[in-house]
Amino acid sequence: MRAEKSLFLGTHPFERQVWPNGKTFFNQVSEFMILHIDMDAFFAAVEQRDNPELKHRPVVVCGNSPRAVVSTASYEARQFGIHSAMPLFQAKQLCPHLIVVPGHREKYAAASQQIMAIISKFTPLVEPVSIDEAYADVTGCSTLFGPPPVIARQIKQTLFTHLALTCSIGIAPVKFLAKIASDMNKPDGLTHITREQMPTVIQTLPVHQVPGVGKQAMHRMKELNIQTLGDIQRFDVTLLTKKFGKFGRRLYQLCRGLDEDRIQPRAARKSISSETTLETDISDEQTARKILLSLAGRVGRELRKKNRVCESVSIKIKFSDFTQITRTRKTPARTCSTEAIFHQARLLFEQVKLTQKIRLLGVGVSHLQPKHAPVQMALLSLPEDNTTKQWESVDQAMDRIFEKFGREMVTPAVLNPLKNPSPGKGGQMTRTSAKKLIISGKVQGVYFRLETRKAALQAGVDGYVKNRADGSVEAVFQGPTQAVDQMVAWCHQGPPAARVDQVTVETLALQPDTNGFDIRY
């Protein structure tokens, strides 16, 4: 049996009784009790388990580029002061013999499924909150498995026996204290906070350890001279709400040991996001848009893989001074289309006034719903609804190609490195061209120009589109010849609500100053 660190803050309300046949059982005094199971340095622990040469050595899981940040650090690495989200170059300065291991997300996901399955053997009320942590409601499970500390030990031992991984478990009558308890005695720890001990824990708990209290909240805490969670009891709910918004009401409850948050078994993911730290800081907006498109593609594929749609899109920008902002907007309709996600992300990005270079970009979606869940139908269908469905069909076809041949087989032209002329095989340059189109028919109006711009951005071409006085539309496309030809074909068909009668095409000389795709007036 492994040595285990345990911390019991009080006695648990269970009585050992004996059946007439001599077998013992536990009789539970009515008590709501929650476990928070948190795997220890999960990604690094999986790598150390699978590669014996990494055991007892300082290991971090992350990319190995100069701008990479640490995803997970082993406890051997943490002894040098290395922690998650630390830039890799700083980690190497602290520990020159640091071992950097690239991440294997599929392997971690498989281990996570095994972990959740083991926990579910002890209670059906399991709420995964991330790939390496979960809540479990063990209220009423004492007759089968014993009191919560006994259940926690069985979970820890089963995980170690079957997966060779350790975890730390916190036990408390409420979720937020269970989470805090799991962090008190890491790694491989077990901490039990009973209801009788809760007032003392709350009075002495540093407020920065409360889930949800970030940097902005801490500034306001200092203004109010709040150092512990118990200090918040001095203030009424009105003042707390004024200072902290909706979170103020929750703080009012937490400082009194109240937590209305209940276990949501197998809770569906509430959001999906993807972000990337750039090799070098950038200030070029066109480059940023290309990155946003790539991130939107990753998020869109994950949405479609889980058969879900989103109702909100957000972006995250971290600047060269490490300050960061997030922006969110609702989508006009539920979607899982990469193009629709990118369109919303681009609109959010264009609202940001850039005053310094960008270090990191991220795209996320939230308010997720099952794709085929009932939805209130609009009284009038909009033309963009059909366009979105068309793009979703394209996305699904690309997803099948990715699954069969790999992600590098097909990529939007804007993300293709050959878009920018550079020596190719045999030293040849990538072919580029520019063409002007005059499009006649039912084509004038904001709708046609917006859809043309969307298609051009997706294809990765520069240029413009504008109305002409004679009722036609003029469009210029410049970029890789294949992408330009793709736009010419698109204009012959036009978006769903338009009617294209005639298209004339004229080849132009390349314009070196053309950058981006604009709607002109």
Binding positions for Mg(2+) are 38, 132
**Structure tokens given for 104:** 């294997």
- Among residues 133, 384, 392, 451, the one annotated as catalytic is 133
By DSSP bridging, strand 34-39 and strand 324-335 are unpaired
If you search the block for the tokens 């922690």, which residue do you land on? 83
Q: Report residue 434 as tokens.
A: 């520019």
Degrees to nearest 5, angle at CA 281 with 279 and 287: 85
> How far apart, in whole angstroms, are the C-alpha atoms of residue 133 and residue 100?
24
- Binding-site residues, please? 38, 132
Exposure string (b/e) for 388-400, b if CB count within 10 Å is 16 or more?
beebbeebeebbe
Task: Examine the residue annotation and report whether 467 is marked as an active-site residue of this protein.
Answer: yes
DSSP assignment letter at 469: T
Distance CA 447, CA 164 (A): 58
Cβ 259 vs Cβ 174: under 8 Å: yes
CA distances from 240 to 12, 21, 235, 248 (A): 33, 57, 7, 4
Contact (CB, 8 A) for 115 and 109? no
SS3 7: strand
Two tokens at 453? 């711009």
User: Which residues contact residue 31 at a Cβ distance below 8 angstroms, ignoring those fewer than 6 apart?
Assistant: 13, 139, 173, 195
Asked if 233 and 258 touch (Cβ cutoff 8 Å), the reply is no
Partners of 474 in the beta sheet? Answer: 438, 466
Would you state the structure tokens that stand for residue 291, as one six-digit string? 């990155």
**DSSP secondary structure letters along 40-90:** TTHHHHHHHHH-GGGTTS-EEES--STT-B-SEE-HHHHTTT--TT-BHHH
Decide if 77 contacts 91 (C-beta within 8 A).
Answer: yes
Determine whether 51 is an active site residue: no
Radius of gyration over alpha carbons of the chain, in Å?
Answer: 28
Q: Is 78 a catalytic residue?
A: no
**Which residues carry out catalysis?**
133, 449, 467
